Structure 1
Amino acid sequence: MTVSNEEELAGLKEIGRIVANTLETMAAAIEPGMTTAELDRLGRKLLEEAGARPAPELCYGFPGATCISVNEEIAHGIPAERRIEAGDLVNIDVSAEKNGLFADTGVSFAVPPVTKSVERLCRDGRRAMWAGIGQVKAGKPLAGIGQAIGDFARKNRYTLVRNLASHGVGRSLHEEPKELATWPDAKERRTMQDGLVFTVEPFLSLGAQWATEGDDPWTLLSDPRAPTVQYEHTVVATRNGPVVVTLPG
């Protein structure tokens, strides 16, 4: 999607706040012993109360309102009877639609007590995302996003999952521009146009380089198995830089 007027931007900010607030409330509710299905039901309730529809379910028939991935699961985890335990690394990915507009956000959380390396991974996963967002500006190359994230990962001795990319969003959950690398990609030649809407969502890891299929049609696992985090915002590229629409408020 390319934003063409203030009404569209206001609509994106509205659905962005909804998914951000939903994610924030879900995160605060995490406690050892609860199931991912219980956490997902909370997310569904919050989205419905805000007049929004869960995007994975709406667009793809995903069996849940949100994606909740635990430990070796790094994306598209199906909410079910898996219990969250102390020490787990939990990723919540919330995307939804309202009035024909979509926004997408995600955060990883470590359930205490956790190791110092996992604490650092969570902190640096967020920093890696912001390194990429810092490269967002109309007229600049899309490749700069992955380059900045790659520089951060290399400097801090992390790996990046290289087959889970960012994507365009706005009129649908996934749309053009597709396959936006959050790692250095010499083949990327596209430029950010004014008003372009897309996600920035690196998968930073203590060793994983790929996502592989799990035992169901949805869940993706780290390969090789290693703690992995994802942080994601929906942004609009403007002449003045990035406008982040998935902020709570």
Structure 2
Amino acid sequence: MSITSEAELQGMKKVSEVVAVTLREMRNYAKPGISTKEVDEFGGAILEAFGAKSAPKLTYGFPGWTCISVNNEIAHGIPTADRILQEGDLVNIDVSAELDGFWSDNGGSFVLGNDLHHHQRLVDTSRAILHKALNQIRGGVMIAEIGKLIETEASKAGYRVIRNLAGHGVGRSLHEPPGDILNCYDRYNKHRFRKNSVVAIETFIATDSTFADEASDGWTLVGNKGGFVAQHEHTIVITGGQPVILTAANEI
């Protein structure tokens, strides 16, 4: 969507704060020994308390309030009672919601407890690349150039990117144009970011894989060459300068 009024901006700020706070509190709640379903239900209760609806449930009938992916899972992991979190797990929580007709999306990977399996550098790299990309996004910038930046920075750090997952427009629904904000350079993509538009920018930084494949459950995405992936995502409003990061509350 494009922001055309103060009421629209306030609507986007409100739903974005809800998803950001929910993500932050879920991350704080997660601990070794509890199931991903418990973490998901905790997040769902927060959304309900705000009067918000789970975007993946509402849009796709997803079997969870949020997506929780663990270790080798990239995204869209289904929260279940038998998936018990362990010390050192690489966990990704993706929270998106609708409130009063506005939609926002954010997510982040983190290491649960002690970094037993040496995932922290991957997580830190993903977060740093996202913020470097955000600092370059403004009206008129080519979308492909941001993909090139993400891919280049990942390569410098010794990592790869998932090439078939992308950021997207958001605001009046969960996924809107542009749907092609890739983590890699696409020379055929001539589109540019538009001032006042709302987009969700996300990184998918990988140790081994370059493409995401759908698992047998029909939802969970895993890497085509195994390994691990860290993802971080913010919903932003594009301006003529630095973007407005609507979901910044999840950084606290």
Give the TM bin, normalised by the shorter chain.
Answer: over 0.9
TM-score, scaled to structure 2: 0.96
Aligned to 1:78: 78
In the alignment, structure 1 residue 3 sits paired with structure 2 residue 6: no
Give the alignment of 1:186-201 within 5 angstroms.
Answer: 186-201=187-202
Instruction: Give SS of 1:104's match.
Output: strand
Secondary structure of the corresponding residue to residue 231 of structure 1: strand
What is the distance in 1 between the residues matched to 2:8 and 2:57?
A: 23
- Equivalent residue of 1:232, what SS? strand
Give the deviation of 1:5 after TM superposition.
1.4
Q: Is the 8 A contact 2:71 2:90 kept in 1?
A: yes
1:16: which partner in 2?
A: 16
CA contact (8 A) 1:103 1:234 kept: yes
Query: 1:115: Cα distance to partner?
Result: 4.5
The change in CA–CA distance for 1:85 and 1:116 in structure 2 (over 3 A counts) is closer
The one-letter amino acid paired with 2:76 is H
Per the alignment, residue 122 of structure 2 pairs with 121
Q: Which residue in the other structure is 1:156 paired with?
A: 157
TM-superposed deviation, 1:116? 7.1
Q: CA separation in 1, counterparts of 2:145 and 2:235?
A: 17
- 1:66-215 residue pairs with structure 2 within 5 A? 66-81=66-81, 82-115=83-116, 117-215=118-216
Q: For the Cα contact (< 8 Å) 1:131–1:152, is it kept in 2?
A: no
Q: In structure 1, list runs of 5 or more residues that go unmatched.
A: none
In structure 2, C-alpha distance between the alignment counterparts of 1:141 and 1:156, rounded to whole Å:
24
Misfit runs of 4+, over 6 Å? none
Distance 1:85 1:115, change over 3 A: closer
**CA separation in 1, counterparts of 2:227 and 2:116?**
13
Secondary structure, aligned partner of 1:105: strand
Please, which moves more after superposition, 80-89 or 94-103?
80-89
SS in 1 for 2:195: coil
- Partner SS for 1:234: strand
After TM superposition, list the pairs within 5 Å mapping 1:14-93 onto structure 2. 14-81=14-81, 82-93=83-94
- Work out the CA distance in 1 between the residues paired with 2:241 and 2:180: 24
Aligned with 2:108: secondary structure? strand
- Whole-Å separation in 1 of the counterparts to 2:32 and 2:116: 17
Q: Distance in 2 between matches of 1:216 and 1:5?
A: 42
Q: How many residues align?
A: 249
Task: Show CA shifts across 1:16-64 (max 9, x none).
Answer: 1100000000000111111010000001000010111100001111111
Structure 1 CA distance for aligned equivalents of residues 219 and 88 of structure 2 = 24
Which residue is equivalent to 1:243? Answer: 244
Counterpart residue type for residue 43 of structure 2: G
Query: How far is the alpha carbon of 1:112 from its aligned partner?
Result: 2.8
Give the share of equivalent positions with the same residue, in percent.
42
Cα pair 1:135 1:144 within 8 Å, conserved:
no
In structure 1, what is the Cα distance between the partners aligned to 2:5 and 2:194? Answer: 14
Gaps of 5+ in 2: none
Q: Quick one: distance in 2 between partners of 1:240 and 1:131?
A: 14
Asked if the contact 1:138/1:192 (under 8 Å) is kept, the reply is: yes
User: TM-score, normalised to structure 1's length?
Assistant: 0.97
SS at match of 1:172: coil
Q: Residue 239 of structure 1 aligns to a residue in which SS? A: coil
| Partners of 2:167 and 2:180 within 8 A in 1 | yes
The one-letter code matched in structure 2 to 1:22 is T
